């Protein structure tokens, strides 16, 4: 039985034994010799974080001709005020059209909490369909319906026949999982269950054999390129360029994909992930249900990772020779272009924090540029990344601290004081701690910027060179602004508040 037969996807703690709590080192995590990454890792002190609703909305808000109907309290979804910038610029670079994300909130009140919110949701769906006439309405559940027991799937089934839009339930109850990456499963789950049927009107009435042959040929050369919401148009173009060099067409999916065309993801020769953390749930489903094989291994960030990513795809199509030629030429050109920056990077210490795959792949890139890695913080850990830890051990030949934490800047502040990096790379709203300590920083997710492929290596190097050329803003800030931690905290073990069931929680 497929997970997609259920109303909700399982949480990643259960499905992948993913965890968010570890303090140790690269080798320690790779070997898992200590009591690391317990399934139910806990901290006795925690700071705020995001929940799966945020990455979930980042994906859904991007869909054109879709209305997001957030079923929850009034604040859930206000993160859209930030995500809207990406929706606007993303629409502009793809279609030359600036448009705001359209989202609604059922704004559950105290009385709804007592009497239930299903009737309100039902009316809201009908009104939204009438007023905005969207292709799809994604009904996103926040915490409150999850606790009071609203059956959003039941409501959707009950009223689908009364509205023109296709309604897609997406479960994002924040208290149900610690692993944000469950968001991707939640969104894919909704898409997989509701949006993959090819509409009858798109099929030809009378089969034309020649057209069918052409179509089959096209399909045999079309790959699904799975994007993530943090991947901007620049990155999509870079990967399309590289795949195009191998004669492949790309179907980019699902961020900014048109709901009415999503069925096309079932008609490709191969699905290629750009981030295994992001895509495994859906790619396995596509293979199981539609027989589309997939590649889910490397994230094309950094020179070596991009090479490996291309080689995997090429091997599938029997184009190993072409791939080697492409790689050779690309890398030669890239290395020549990088040469002017490298002296500035040599031996500079760097700390990187991001989603697990992104953090590790970017760490590999930074090592390639000549930086010295002094620490990595990944937001969670699961088995997909084990090979990445091995890669880093092999390439760097050294051990350094690894923190698995869904941000937790207090651990980061403590580590940064000890490790004293020259530059810090972190998530949106995740660079403030390092900045206030006077460290040069760079954002690791910004959808306007280029990070992926060979182009990403060059652009990241160029930006780091610029930032290291004048880190005066952060340096001066640090003289007059302090972090909100007690002096004793910096003397303490950074992993003091990690609780381990039945063993050492940290090394």
CA–CA distance, 26 with 212 (Å, rounded to integer): 52
- 486 binds other proteins, rule: CB under 8 A: yes
Closest to other proteins by CB, 348 vs 506, is: 506
The correct pick among 16, 26, 38, 54 for binding other proteins (CB under 8 A) is 54
Helix (H, G, I), strand (E, B) or coil at 271: strand
- Cα-based angle 216, 245, 231 (whole degrees, multiple of 5): 90
CA–CA distance, 146 with 133 (Å, rounded to integer): 28
Stretch 199-258 residues interacting with other proteins (CB under 8 A)? none
Nearest approach in angstroms of CB 41 to other proteins is 12
**CB burial readout 329-356, b (16+ within 10 A) else e:** ebbeebeeebeebeeebeebbbbbbbbb
Closest to other proteins by CB, 309 vs 410, is: 410
- 497 binds other proteins, rule: CB under 8 A: yes
- 469 binds other proteins, rule: CB under 8 A: no
Of residues 340, 366, 316, 330, the one with CA closest to residue 238: 330
* Cα 191 to chain centroid, rounded: 17
Closest to other proteins by CB, 124 vs 265, is: 124
Nearest approach in angstroms of CB 23 to other proteins is 15
- 479 binds other proteins, rule: CB under 8 A: no
Closest to other proteins by CB, 251 vs 433, is: 433
Closest to other proteins by CB, 63 vs 334, is: 63
- 100 binds other proteins, rule: CB under 8 A: yes
Phi, psi of 354 (to 5 degrees): -170, -175
SS (H, E, C) 445-469: CCCCCCCCHHHHHHHHHHHHHHHHH
Closest to other proteins by CB, 193 vs 427, is: 427
**CB burial readout 375-386, b (16+ within 10 A) else e:** bbbbbbbbebbe
Stretch 304-343 residues interacting with other proteins (CB under 8 A)? none
In this structure, what token pair is assigned to residue 497? Answer: 């508040």
- Asked whether 460 and 468 are in contact (CB, 8 A), the reply is no
- Asked whether 283 and 265 are in contact (CB, 8 A), the reply is no
- 478 binds other proteins, rule: CB under 8 A: no
Nearest approach in angstroms of CB 67 to other proteins is 9
Closest to other proteins by CB, 131 vs 420, is: 131
Closest to other proteins by CB, 111 vs 394, is: 111
Of residues 410, 422, 343, 444, the one with CA closest to residue 375: 422
Nearest approach in angstroms of CB 121 to other proteins is 8
Stretch 136-155 residues interacting with other proteins (CB under 8 A)? 142-144, 147-148
- 97 binds other proteins, rule: CB under 8 A: no
Nearest approach in angstroms of CB 181 to other proteins is 13
DSSP 263: G
CA–CA distance, 160 with 165 (Å, rounded to integer): 8
- 46 binds other proteins, rule: CB under 8 A: yes
The correct pick among 21, 83, 229, 378 for binding other proteins (CB under 8 A) is 83
Stretch 420-449 residues interacting with other proteins (CB under 8 A)? 428-430, 432-433
CA–CA distance, 445 with 181 (Å, rounded to integer): 15
Nearest approach in angstroms of CB 45 to other proteins is 4
The correct pick among 6, 45, 325, 333 for binding other proteins (CB under 8 A) is 45
- 127 binds other proteins, rule: CB under 8 A: yes
Nearest approach in angstroms of CB 157 to other proteins is 19
Nearest approach in angstroms of CB 494 to other proteins is 11
The correct pick among 31, 82, 115, 160 for binding other proteins (CB under 8 A) is 82
- Asked whether 182 and 16 are in contact (CB, 8 A), the reply is no
The correct pick among 95, 175, 217, 290 for binding other proteins (CB under 8 A) is 175
Residue 384, C-beta contacts closer than 8 angstroms, at least 6 positions apart: 16, 276, 277, 280, 296, 356, 357
Q: How many of the chain's residues bind other proteins (CB under 8 A)?
A: 74
């Amino acid at each position: 039985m497929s997970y997609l037969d259920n109303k909700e996807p399982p949480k990643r703690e259960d499905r992948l034994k993913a965890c968010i709590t570890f303090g140790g080192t690269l080798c320690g995590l790779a070997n898992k010799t200590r009591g690391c990454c317990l399934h139910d890792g806990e901290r006795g002190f925690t700071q705020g974080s995001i929940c799966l609703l945020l990455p979930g909305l980042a994906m859904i808000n991007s869909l054109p001709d879709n209305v997001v109907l957030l079923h929850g309290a009034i604040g859930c979804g206000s993160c859209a005020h930030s995500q809207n910038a990406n929706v606007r610029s993303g629409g502009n670079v793809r279609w030359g059209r600036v448009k705001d994300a359209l989202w609604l909130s059922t704004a559950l009140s105290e009385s709804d909490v007592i009497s239930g919110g299903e009737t309100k949701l039902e009316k809201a769906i009908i009104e939204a369909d009438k007023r905005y006439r969207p292709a799809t309405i994604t009904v996103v559940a926040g915490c409150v319906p999850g606790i009071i027991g609203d059956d959003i799937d039941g409501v959707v089934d009950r009223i689908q026949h009364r509205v023109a839009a296709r309604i897609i339930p997406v479960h994002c109850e924040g208290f149900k999982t610690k692993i944000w990456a469950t968001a991707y499963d939640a969104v894919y789950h909704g898409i997989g269950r509701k949006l993959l049927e090819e509409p009858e009107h798109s099929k030809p009435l009378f089969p034309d054999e020649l057209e069918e042959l052409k179509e089959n040929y096209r399909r045999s050369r079309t790959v699904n390129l799975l994007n993530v919401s943090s991947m901007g148009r620049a990155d999509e173009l870079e990967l399309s360029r590289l795949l195009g060099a191998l004669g492949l067409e790309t179907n980019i999916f699902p961020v900014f994909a048109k709901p009415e065309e999503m069925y096309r993801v079932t008609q490709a020769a191969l699905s290629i992930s750009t981030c295994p953390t992001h895509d495994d749930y859906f790619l396995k489903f596509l293979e199981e249900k539609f027989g589309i094989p997939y590649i889910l291994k490397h994230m094309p960030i950094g020179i070596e990772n991009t090479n490996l990513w291309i080689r995997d795809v090429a091997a599938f199509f029997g184009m190993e020779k072409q791939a080697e030629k492409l790689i050779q030429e690309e890398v030669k050109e890239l290395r020549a272009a990088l040469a002017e920056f490298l002296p500035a990077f040599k031996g500079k210490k760097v700390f990187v924090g991001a989603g697990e795959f992104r953090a590790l792949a970017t760490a590999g890139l930074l090592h390639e540029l000549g930086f010295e890695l002094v620490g990595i913080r990944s937001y969670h850990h699961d088995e997909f990344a084990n090979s990445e830890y091995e890669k880093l051990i092999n390439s760097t030949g050294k051990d350094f601290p690894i923190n698995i934490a869904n941000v937790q800047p207090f651990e980061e502040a403590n580590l940064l004081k000890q490790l004293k990096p020259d530059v810090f790379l972190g998530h949106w709203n995740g660079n403030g701690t390092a900045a206030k300590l006077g460290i040069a920083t760079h954002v690791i997710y910004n959808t306007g910027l280029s990070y992926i492929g060979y182009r990403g290596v060059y652009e990241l190097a160029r930006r780091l060179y610029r930032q290291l050329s004048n880190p005066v803003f952060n340096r001066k800030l640090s003289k007059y602004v302090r972090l909100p931690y007690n002096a004793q905290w910096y003397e303490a073990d950074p992993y003091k508040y990690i609780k381990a069931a039945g063993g050492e929680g940290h090394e």
